Amino acid sequence: MVSLLGSLARQPGANAHSVMDEMIRSLATEKSHKVMGQLLYSLRMLGRLFANEVMSCKSDQQNIFLQHLKDSHHSVRCQCLRMIGELACADTTMGGTQSMQSLVASFAVDSDSRVRTTALQALLALHERGQKLDMMVYEQASKALHDDYEEVRMVAIKLLWVFSHICPERTVILPSSDEARLVDDAFIKICHMVNDMSMQVRGEAVGLLGSLHHVSPKFLEQTLDKKVMSHLKRRKTDHEKQRDRFAGGGSSDSGWSTGRQWGDKMSSEGELAPEEVSLMSSGACGAFVHGLEDEYLEVRMPAVDALCELANQNPSFAMLCLDFLVDMFNDEIESVRLNAINSLRKVCHQMELREDQLDIVLSVLEDFSHEIREGVRELLGHCHLSTRACLHSAIHALLSNLSKYPQDRASIWRCAQQLGKKHQHLASSLVPELLSTHPYFATAEPSVDDPAYVAIVILVFNATVNSPVMIPMFPSHTLRHYGYLRDSYPDLVPQLPIEGEGVEVELTPQHQASSGESFMCGILRRVESLTALSPLTAQKLLKTLIKDLKHAQGISKSLSSNSRCIALYLESHLIILQAQIDKLWDTPGALCSAQGTGLQLLVEQLLTKTYRIEHCYHGLSSAQLLQVHELRLLAHALLILSSQRCDTRTEKNLGSTLQVWQSFLSRVKHFSSFLRRCGAPMDDFCESIMSFQTFFESNITKPAVIAEYLQTIVLTRRPAPLQISSMLRESRAVMAEPQGGSENPRSFSAGLTLGIDIDAMLEDLPDPSNLRIQVVFPDMRRQLFTPKTDDIQHLSDMRHRLVTTVVVSHSGWSESCFIELSLVLKYMPDIDEDAVVIPNSPHEQNKMILRQVKNSTDSLQDGVLGLCPPVRLCIQPKPGK
């Protein structure tokens, strides 16, 4: 009942103050501990609603509050402590002169572990609310590190971590009367908790170490050394010992005892206290070593993260932790290995890899996991190798990896490119060996299609950029291959001053942008003049503009998306214009039955183009999208009008007429709702479309009247030019694997499965859940696969990577055939487009599907748009014996 009343009081319109007062009165008379705990919980929840009227600030409520802090039941005390942490004012005193924080800290030694945990959590809550914690809290948290319960120790570690950030340079007094920085003292105490018996405490402790950036280097470096340290204790010098003996009244003549007196000249250091004896390594000694060697991955993972973060802040510490991070490459858990690889990649710019370290790194290239291999190659591309032998070993390891995993060649080529850029001086001495040149004998010319040879020349060409003296060392066939490789892989092969090759004038991005913008401005000015031209003249200008826009895509990469989008819109505009001036409208219905097929094909193309503009180009305004919707509406209307004129059967069948017009009415409804949402001003065309449904219902028995009315609206409508001022982003995919073009079939038993590995980069894709993998078989059967969420790696904003395996199956074939594999984008069409583009005849439906699948990766029926060109793969399902 109390819980229900507290929930109702938090609802809008409820009188929470009266409910709180009644609950406070009930607390004074209630005897049940469970009810009292629920009352305090409800009061705490209600107190959050009133930031300026906290209960603990009122004297009459404070007495009840203090009274229940001494309750014998742990739940009541815990609720009171939580209330202090969440609701107490900063200037509140809890009885007499005792401060609020000291009162809460006193419960850190309570007999119940739950109360001790809640007390420390309340102190953390006070800090989160902006209250300054006293040093007394630091001392209490240090004592709580030795508590018997792991929850208490975990909260105590967090309190020490908080003090390390709010007052790192504050001086604390150690038990040995020495002084130390607070951040150093807290760091050593947290390091000591890495040896805790609880896995959760060890993981929490080692994870918090990474954010303590202001620790002294001598203590930071101690975390990688297993030698026992003194835990901030220093031994006294001989002068200090003599001074202490003199102050105590003893003689300082000799350090030896005569043995004639009891206790004569006994050690001034006194007996060793039992609590100072520890069988474990104390302080920061070997903290990260223990964390990296822990049996639980929940401890090793944060240890690697903390080590990486501290290494980024301290270059000298990064050199020390290199061996430890490399050793983690041999961890038994894949996620730990991958984390170690990525962590070393972040700090490797500050160090060089030795040969023994490189051997461990290269051994991981044989890992079965694709992510591990990819991570190691990225690491090699960022590392600096120390010797020529290191570079030689790395190259041969990559070539061996290429022969074992040929599907990784794109990643191996990128790694070779980075190795060449960073080690041009080391690579120059390896050129004769890598290119297999000999001063006396002619060597065989390698195949330019050999992936291993391509990897070698990519490395050599990139090393030659800053060392052009290597060019005379190239054999003649390498010089001949340069032009082909430069054209085939422009992102991997740089521009070199090789004789016989045309010198490319590489413009800076600023020059490219300025020339592209000036060219685009000229095109847009001509686009604006379309509305004032005659249909035939406008048609010629549209063809010229489309050709110029395709040329503009190669001038500036930054404007390529805008150029393609405007070109698609102008192509759709051209289709509308061609349909409006078609001879079909001047031909009698009995003679135009054969002319409707061409218009139908144009309408299908237009619908696909407009869907691509809407879903693949990001950055269009609502007014610009309204123009795209208008094109689809015009195309749909023209298709219906042509079918009405070419198919005389629909003029005699009212049922068929209603079925044809039903889809168009759905599109009109969708267009009207979109028009209202975007708030664009309506012209005569929009008003006519908005009122079309009413006109249709009033003339439903007169299909000829409806067609004539719609024809007068559609044939006179000239689409407005699309003016784009912002930079658009185009969704696209670059498929690295599989590679097509091979005629060697991939064989598998009929009825079983064949796995095809896919590796692709997804650019400017806001929602990767709409990605599909499309496979078109030789019998024109289309199949869509949805990749798993784990197969899509998020790289950056709207940029992803797809690494997955598609499993295909088919019945037996008499010979090998090609399948087409592509990445497509799934979208939601405005209406059911099947009723628009597919005729009612089953024979015509089959012809339509075959034609569309064969010509394009886009499909109106499935609602997909191609993101990349299809890859042709030769497969052969062999029939079973």
pLDDT score of 180 more than 90: no
pLDDT score of 348 more than 50: yes
The predicted pLDDT at position 616 comes to: 92
Measured CA angle at 577 (ends 659, 601), to 5 deg: 50
* CB-based burial, 605-639: b 16+ in 10 Å, e otherwise: bbbbbbbbbbbbbebbeeebbbbbbbbbbbbbbbb
- CA distance linking residue 820 with residue 782, whole number of Å: 10
Amino acid at 32: S
The predicted pLDDT at position 770 comes to: 92
The predicted pLDDT at position 647 comes to: 63
- CA distance linking residue 288 with residue 761, whole number of Å: 37
- CA distance linking residue 866 with residue 773, whole number of Å: 10
Measured CA angle at 70 (ends 68, 73), to 5 deg: 80
pLDDT score of 495 more than 70: yes
Which of 443-457, 524-538, 746-760 bottoms out in mean pLDDT, i.e. has the lowest?
524-538
Nearest of 536, 422, 513, 837 to residue 660 by alpha carbon: 837
pLDDT score of 29 more than 70: no
- CA distance linking residue 668 with residue 633, whole number of Å: 7
Nearest of 429, 529, 446, 528 to residue 480 by alpha carbon: 446
Composition of the chain by helix, strand, coil, percent to 5: 60, 10, 30
Nearest of 562, 612, 553, 569 to residue 726 by alpha carbon: 562
Question: How far, CA to CA in Å, does 322 sit from each of 293, 341, 344?
Answer: 15, 11, 8
The predicted pLDDT at position 518 comes to: 75
Q: Where do the DSSP E strands lie in 715-851?
A: 729-730, 732-737, 746-749, 754-763, 771-776, 782-785, 792-796, 799-808, 817-826
The predicted pLDDT at position 301 comes to: 95
The predicted pLDDT at position 822 comes to: 92
pLDDT score of 516 more than 80: no
- CA distance linking residue 200 with residue 189, whole number of Å: 16
The predicted pLDDT at position 53 comes to: 55
* Residue 130 exposed, middle or buried by CB count within 10 Å (0-12, 13-18, 19+): exposed
Q: What is the mean pLDDT of residues 321-342?
A: 92
The predicted pLDDT at position 513 comes to: 52
- CA distance linking residue 816 with residue 822, whole number of Å: 20
The predicted pLDDT at position 848 comes to: 46
pLDDT score of 77 more than 90: no
- CA distance linking residue 485 with residue 488, whole number of Å: 5
Nearest of 126, 22, 127, 40 to residue 77 by alpha carbon: 40
The predicted pLDDT at position 514 comes to: 60
Q: Residues near 841 by Cβ (< 8 Å), separated by ≥ 6?
A: none
Q: What is the mean pLDDT of residues 90-116?
A: 74
Q: How far is CA 154 from the centre of its chain?
A: 31
The predicted pLDDT at position 718 comes to: 84
Contact 129, 48 (CB under 8 A): no
Question: How far, CA to CA in Å, does 566 sit from each of 682, 771, 790, 803, 843?
Answer: 24, 24, 36, 32, 37
Q: What is the mean pLDDT of residues 114-136?
A: 88
Q: Which helix (H) or strand (E) holds 866?
A: strand 864-866
Q: What's the pLDDT band for 596 if we cut at 50, 70, 90?
A: low
Provide the H-helix boundaries in 314-351: 315-327, 334-347
Q: Where do the DSSP E strands lie in 268-372?
A: 352-353
The predicted pLDDT at position 612 comes to: 92
The predicted pLDDT at position 287 comes to: 87
Please report, rounded to a whole number, the percentage of residues in the chain having pLDDT higher than 70.
77
The predicted pLDDT at position 446 comes to: 86
Contact 194, 290 (CB under 8 A): yes
Contact 646, 660 (CB under 8 A): no
Q: What is the mean pLDDT of residues 280-298?
A: 80
Contact 806, 755 (CB under 8 A): yes
Q: What's the pLDDT band for 604 if we cut at 50, 70, 90?
A: confident
pLDDT score of 842 more than 50: no
The predicted pLDDT at position 711 comes to: 84
- CA distance linking residue 35 with residue 856, whole number of Å: 71
Q: What's the pLDDT band for 424 if we cut at 50, 70, 90?
A: confident
pLDDT score of 268 more than 50: no
Backbone phi, psi, residue 240, to 5°: -65, -35
Contact 800, 768 (CB under 8 A): yes
Tokens of 756: 């095809």
The predicted pLDDT at position 380 comes to: 92
The predicted pLDDT at position 796 comes to: 86
- CA distance linking residue 33 with residue 369, whole number of Å: 56
Mean pLDDT of the chain: 80
Q: What's the pLDDT band for 231 if we cut at 50, 70, 90?
A: very low
pLDDT score of 27 more than 60: yes
pLDDT score of 504 more than 50: no
- CA distance linking residue 449 with residue 481, whole number of Å: 10
The predicted pLDDT at position 648 comes to: 55
- CA distance linking residue 699 with residue 574, whole number of Å: 32
* Residue 495 exposed, middle or buried by CB count within 10 Å (0-12, 13-18, 19+): middle
pLDDT score of 764 more than 80: yes
Question: Which of 253-267, 393-407, 487-501, 645-659: highest mean pLDDT?
Answer: 393-407
- Please indicate whether residue 842 or residue 689 has the higher confidence score (pLDDT): 689
Bond prior to 719 in cis (omega within 30° of 0): no
Q: Which residues pair with 618 in a beta bridge?
A: 729
pLDDT score of 208 more than 90: yes
- CA distance linking residue 125 with residue 130, whole number of Å: 9
Tokens of 92: 């509140």
Nearest of 320, 719, 577, 861 to residue 853 by alpha carbon: 861
How, if at all, do strands 384-385 and 352-353 pair?
parallel
The predicted pLDDT at position 415 comes to: 94
Residue 802, SS3 per DSSP:
strand
The predicted pLDDT at position 230 comes to: 45
Question: Which of 67-76, 302-311, 655-664, 718-727: highest mean pLDDT?
Answer: 302-311
Q: What's the pLDDT band for 21 if we cut at 50, 70, 90?
A: low
The predicted pLDDT at position 655 comes to: 59
The predicted pLDDT at position 39 comes to: 67
Contact 573, 610 (CB under 8 A): no
Q: Residues near 185 by Cβ (< 8 Å), separated by ≥ 6?
A: 172, 174, 232
pLDDT score of 6 more than 70: no
Which of 12-26, 336-350, 635-649, 800-814 bottoms out in mean pLDDT, i.e. has the lowest?
12-26
Question: Which of 263-277, 515-529, 679-693, 862-876: highest mean pLDDT?
Answer: 862-876
Q: Which residues pair with 729 in a beta bridge?
A: 618
Q: What's the pLDDT band for 843 if we cut at 50, 70, 90?
A: very low
Which of 91-95, 136-140, 623-627 bottoms out in mean pLDDT, i.e. has the lowest?
91-95
- CA distance linking residue 427 with residue 421, whole number of Å: 9
Q: What is the mean pLDDT of residues 307-331?
A: 90
The predicted pLDDT at position 678 comes to: 84
Contact 735, 871 (CB under 8 A): yes
Nearest of 765, 782, 764, 781 to residue 773 by alpha carbon: 782
CATH code for the domain defined by 731-840+854-878: 2.60.40
Backbone phi, psi, residue 662, to 5°: -65, -45
The conformation of residue 296, written as its DSSP 8-state character, comes to S
Which of 192-201, 468-477, 627-636 bottoms out in mean pLDDT, i.e. has the lowest?
468-477
* Residue 96 exposed, middle or buried by CB count within 10 Å (0-12, 13-18, 19+): exposed
Q: What's the pLDDT band for 56 if we cut at 50, 70, 90?
A: very low
Residues of the chain with CATH 2.60.40: 731-840+854-878
- Please indicate whether residue 575 or residue 593 has the higher confidence score (pLDDT): 575
Q: What's the pLDDT band for 57 if we cut at 50, 70, 90?
A: very low
Residue 658, SS3 per DSSP:
helix
Tokens of 306: 């903390």
pLDDT score of 774 more than 50: yes
Tokens of 341: 């690889």
